[in-house]
Amino acid sequence: MRTHSRATAWAFLSPWIVTFAVFGLFPFAFSLYASLTDYSPIRAGARFVGLSNYGRALADPTFWSSLATTGIFVVGTIPLTTALALGLALAVQPAFRGRTLFRVGFFVPSVVSVVVLSLVFKGLYASGGPINAVLRALGLPAPDWLLSPRMALPAIMAMDVWSASGYYMIVFLAGLEGIPRDLYEAARIDGASAWVRFARITLPMLKPTLLFVLVVNTVRSLQIFAEVFVMTRGGPLHSTTTVVYYLYEQAFYRFDLGYASAIAYLLFLVTLAIAWIQTRLVRPATEPTR
């Protein structure tokens, strides 16, 4: 009987396991192999080159500048996205008329395809586009958003903050709903102000959610690609060349898949390190041992 139920469990799990093995594990292992070779998809045979692709990446100034660009993107967007998402969640949590409408409105951008959003923002950011029209009407300077090496990355970052906040708002809402109401009532009876209730109850109780948001958003932001691909193709003057866009160029424009795989693994290590630091910094307090 037990054997039978185990077989049933495996049968039900097998579609996921097969998919994960084929589209997850195999590419993961293959790219590790590729990173140790001079593999090119359009050339027969691959030569083992050891760690030289990794050495090449570490000596490549464009790799470092793309890592810096990615770093600026991550540091610039994550605090803003997290703060905005939490703010929105707090704003739409209490019951009020039209709450659902606001919740849906804030969430919608996160379900729209990144490519579609990027195309829309490309139009909004055009020198003669609506954003500049408003700025001009207000007598403010109208910058060349996506053409200026100084403005292009912040412009993409602004779009990302706007589009991603809605998703994390929903995550925070779920976290907020899980905080027992009686804690707030007790605090209110004790005369705690709104800020004290937020700082002493909401934030500590939200730590697991906050950790989840930080880690997931960091991993996603480190892999920023589609926005760059659609809006700037890494330009102007490499100002928006992120690590993933750079490795895409290496893989599919230069067909240097071995090198691209090495860059991917270096990014993986960076991601792993940052996620580990985040879990250390924002780890929820454990129950005191008696």
Burial class (CB in 10 A: 0-12, 13-18, 19+), 117: buried
In this chain, which stretch among 82-90, 142-150, 189-197, 275-283 interacts with other proteins, using CB under 8 A?
142-150
Q: Does position 118 bind other proteins by CB under 8 A?
A: no
Q: How far apart are CA 186 and CA 180, in angstroms?
A: 11
Q: Interface with other proteins by CB under 8 A: which range of 157-165, 167-175, 251-259, 274-282?
A: 251-259
Structure tokens at 125: 């950011």
Closest to 78 measured CA to CA, from 165, 208, 193: 165
Residue type for position 122? K
85 CB-side CA count, 13 A = 31
3-state secondary structure of 66: helix
Does residue 152 bind other proteins (CB under 8 A)? Answer: yes
CB of 99 to other proteins, least distance (A): 39
Residues 19-38 that bind other proteins (CB under 8 A): 38
Is there binding between residue 128 and other proteins (CB under 8 A)? yes
Q: Can you read off the two tokens belonging to residue 47? A: 């030569």
Cα 241 from Cα 250, distance rounded (Å): 12
The region of 68-76, 122-130, 163-171, 273-281 touching other proteins under the rule CB under 8 A is 122-130
CA 65-41-234 angle, to 5 degrees, is 25
Asked if residues 73 and 224 have their Cβ atoms less than 8 Å apart, the reply is: yes
Among 42-50, 198-206, 261-269, 277-285, the segment contacting other proteins (CB under 8 A)? 42-50
149 is an interface residue for other proteins by CB under 8 A: yes
* Given 232, 242, 261, 271, the residue binding other proteins (CB under 8 A): 232
The reply to whether 143 sits near other proteins by the rule CB under 8 A is no
Whose Cβ is closer to other proteins: residue 10's or residue 33's? 33
* Residue 146 interacting with other proteins (CB under 8 A): yes
| Segment lying near other proteins (by CB under 8 A), choices 15-23, 39-47, 100-108, 155-163 | 39-47
Sorted by sequence, the CB contacts under 8 Å of residue 96 that are 6+ apart come out as: none
Cβ nearer to other proteins, comparing 96 with 253? 253
Q: By the criterion CB under 8 A, which residues form the site for other proteins? A: 38, 40-44, 122, 126-128, 144, 146-149, 152, 232-238, 252-256
